[in-house]
Amino acid sequence: MKRSANPAIPALTLDSRSACPLYRQLYAQLRRAILKHSLPEGARLPSTRALARRLRVSRNTVLNAYEALLADALLVARRGSGTHVSLSSFRTLPCKIPVVATPPRKSFDLWAALREAYFPATSVRLRDPDGNPLYLHR
């Protein structure tokens, strides 16, 4: 049984004279197309080689753009299946990053905060022969 045709990729234009790297330009254009639903969920993107040939850029440029979209959870890639627009990318709402007020400088101990962040209170604290702290996590 033959698969149905995939939607056409919107027109992509890259400016080699721009200060913005080519992969970032490609990333931004594909991201915009995904978020505007020009590329529907589940749509299969062309292979990195085919898209690089079409845009006349290095395959690494396309790989970097795809990897950035994968990191943003806008794409899903499976070996042998290709790269598809993520189904979950349309179900997640953009969230605002909360602004956290920094505590007053005199009451903030950076080393204590780092120690607690990396070594939870449930750890067992030991010391090596030189007196340096060792941590055993349960």
pLDDT in tens, 74-90: 998 888 888 999 876 55
Q: Which residues pair with 127 in a beta bridge?
A: 133
Q: Alpha helices of 36-103 — where are they, by DSSP H?
A: 48-55, 59-71
The rounded distance, in Å, linking the Cα atoms of 57 and 45 is 17
Q: Enter the pTM of the model.
A: 0.61
pLDDT at 137: 59
Domains of the chain in sequence order: 22-90 (1.10.10.10), 109-136 (no CATH)
The predicted-structure confidence for 18-47, as pLDDT tens digits, reads as follows: 899 999 999 999 999 998 888 888 889 999
Cα separation values, 114 from 108, 109, 120, Å: 11, 9, 10
Element (H, E) at 77: strand 75-78
Which of 88, 45, 38, 50 has its CA nearest to residue 67? 45
